[in-house]
Amino acid sequence: MISSTLEAPVLLVGAAHVVDLNAALRKVLGDRVLDAMAVELDDERARVLLSEHPEESKGGGQGPMILKLWALLQRRLGAEMGGGFAGAEMRTAADLAKERSLPLFLIDDPIRVTLARLLGSLGVKERVSLVVGAILGLVLPARFVRGQLDAYSAEPGEYMDEVRRQYPAVARVLVDERNEHMADRLAELRSKGFGRVAAVVGDAHVPGLAEALRRRGCPVETIRFSELERATAP
């Protein structure tokens, strides 16, 4: 029996930003005893996603072209794949926190700082590949992306190894570095007494973030994206 919340593991919930996970998240988190909820957002993205009408956001703002392209891609896929809008799972987590009177913590780096680091790290080949990939994504059928998600769910480790091979700077900046920073913030929450925290993050972050937390002495439990989808499967 757990006598202290600090003996409880941090719960990492792996999501996909363009898939409708509202029912699944409510099912796996609804009965959990929690001290707080955390989400893979920063202040800027939270203002958009947690606003009254997040689906109307244009995304990208005055940022780099690659950000605008990926924002367009995520909006399109979110609509076509039943997610409603990109990042809807973060809105669900925030809603659950509000319904249960739990504090909600934003644990990600500022998006513009992350993008600046990424653009400064990209070689010409990676930069061109990302732009071309985003443009192709705007015209590829949603079933192709669904197939990629299924391939990821079946072998997430192998899938990410291939991403690291093709896009080493992207994997380092968007995944590895952010994992370390999010782990720091979750560990700080535990030091403040928030032991039973559920953190909803993109599924690709779960293995590295779990490892980073363990290095900081934090016990971890994980629910992967594939498990979430099965939670509400007919």
Cβ atoms of residues 228 and 15 within 8 Å: yes
Encode pLDDT of 103-151 as tens digits. 999 999 998 898 888 888 888 877 777 665 654 454 444 555 566 667 7
The SS3 call for residue 30 is: coil
Q: What is the pLDDT of residue 70?
A: 53
Indicate if the alpha-carbon torsion angle 28, 30, 35, 41 is positive or negative.
Answer: positive
Encode pLDDT of 161-195 as tens digits. 988 988 888 899 989 999 999 999 999 999 999 99
Q: What is the pLDDT of residue 207?
A: 95
Gyration radius (Cα) of the chain, Å: 17
Measured CA to CA, the distance from residue 25 to residue 44 in angstroms comes to 23
Q: What is the pLDDT of residue 157?
A: 86
> 58 falls in which pLDDT band (50, 70, 90)?
very low
Encode pLDDT of 71-113 as tens digits. 544 554 444 445 555 678 899 999 999 999 999 999 999 988 9
> 200 falls in which pLDDT band (50, 70, 90)?
very high
Measured CA to CA, the distance from residue 72 to residue 67 in angstroms comes to 9
CA dihedral 121, 78, 227, 205 (to 10 degrees): 10
Q: What is the pLDDT of residue 176?
A: 96
Measured CA to CA, the distance from residue 159 to residue 154 in angstroms comes to 9
Cβ partners under 8 Å of residue 113, min gap 6: none
Q: What is the pLDDT of residue 67?
A: 53
Q: What is the pLDDT of residue 136?
A: 47
Question: Which of 20-24, 38-42, 69-73 shows the lowest mean pLDDT across its residues?
Answer: 69-73
- The pTM for the full model equals 0.81
Q: What is the pLDDT of residue 146?
A: 60
Cβ partners under 8 Å of residue 16, min gap 6: 83, 89, 149, 202, 203, 225
Q: What is the pLDDT of residue 102?
A: 97
Q: What percent of the chain has pLDDT over 90?
A: 43
Q: What is the pLDDT of residue 65?
A: 52
Per-residue tokens: 181: 């920073």
Q: What value does the mean pLDDT of the chain take?
A: 80
Measured CA to CA, the distance from residue 120 to residue 124 in angstroms comes to 11
Residue 160 or residue 217, greater confidence: 217
